[in-house]
Amino acid sequence: MPELPEVETIARHLRDGHEDTPPLPGKQVERVTLRWPRHIARPSAAAFRRRIRRQTFRDVGRRGKYLVFGLDDATLLVHLKMSGELYLARPGQAAQRFDHTVFHLHDGWELRFSDSRKFGRVFLVDDPQLVLRPLGPEPLSAAFTPGELAARLRAHRRVLKPLLLDQTFLAGLGNIYADEALHHARLHPLRRSNSLSEDEAGRLWAGIRQALSDGLHHNGASIDWVYRGGGFQNHFRVYQRTGQPCPVCGAPIRRRVIGQRASHFCPTCQPRGRR
């Protein structure tokens, strides 16, 4: 699933234009094709078709793993889920097999939502907080401090790795960047959140921001055919590096399933107990 750096990269490319595609802001929707109406979570598919017509894209942003599009008098939210891809297609460009939701724009360009597994969701709402309110803080925000993270960790008695994946605890972090952040912080993924000292919480705060910043620098990670625009996969410290040497100490990276998700860590740099 695309995580914060991948979604932010998509938002930037759509907002500012990328390579041979123009910026999306300023383009008006003429109509929409819904080949998989269940993409539309809110409102109904019929109401969505009616209301999206003649709406102009004014801005493109991100909140957590959601793409946020400001329109004339509404907000369009897109969650890519497991296999979603959102891209601009030039006039006459051949459709792809999984282009299920297509926004036909006034100048012939198309904004296409390709989604092989059909898990993605689209919302058209007056108030985006109806969808976004449950999300936790943005980890790269200036308002997100080490003290706030420490307080949030103390408020739970949960295993650290699944807690970091909980979008109500922290928005935008997924399996890749949680593993990378924990390695930066030298913390075992099975530690209990309320067991962390102030110093360890500070290390985790720095590790989260470092992992996400590194991902953004490389335009995210391309690890399968869904998201193909990044290079961070060439700089992983632990994720999907089972058996390979830790870049810090040289010990073999281990893999363990935690909360039904594969977790990768260094047993030497990330001991189970406190150091």
Structure tokens at 224: 């399968």
Reading the block at residue 133, the tokens are 């309110």
Q: Is 63 helix (H, G, I), strand (E, B) or coil?
A: strand
CB count in 10 Å sphere of residue 218:
17
State the catalytic residue, choosing from 3, 6, 85, 110: 3
Whether 25 sits among the annotated catalytic residues: the reply is no
Question: Cβ of 109: how many Cβ atoms within 10 Å?
Answer: 18
211, 181 in Cβ contact below 8 A?
A: yes
- Distance (Å, rounded) from C-alpha 80 to C-alpha 224? 14
| Residues ≥6 apart with Cβ < 8 Å to 142 | none
- Please confirm, yes or no, whether 3 is among the known catalytic residues: yes
- CA-closest candidate to residue 164, choices 134, 189, 194: 189
Strand bridging mode 40-42 / 121-125: parallel
Which residue in the list 2, 5, 139, 189 is annotated as catalytic? 2
45-81 per-residue burial string, b: 16 or more CB within 10 A, e: under 16: beebbebbeebebeebbbbbbbbbbbbeebbbbbbbe
Q: Per the residue annotation, which of 27, 62, 63, 65 is the catalytic one?
A: 65
Residue in 152, 261, 267, 271 annotated catalytic: 261
139 is annotated as an active-site residue: no
Task: Count Cα neighbours of 137 within 13 Å in the Cβ-side half-sphere.
Answer: 16
- Which are the contacts of 209, defined by CB distance < 8 A and separation ≥ 6? 139, 140
Q: Which positions are catalytic?
A: 2-3, 65, 261
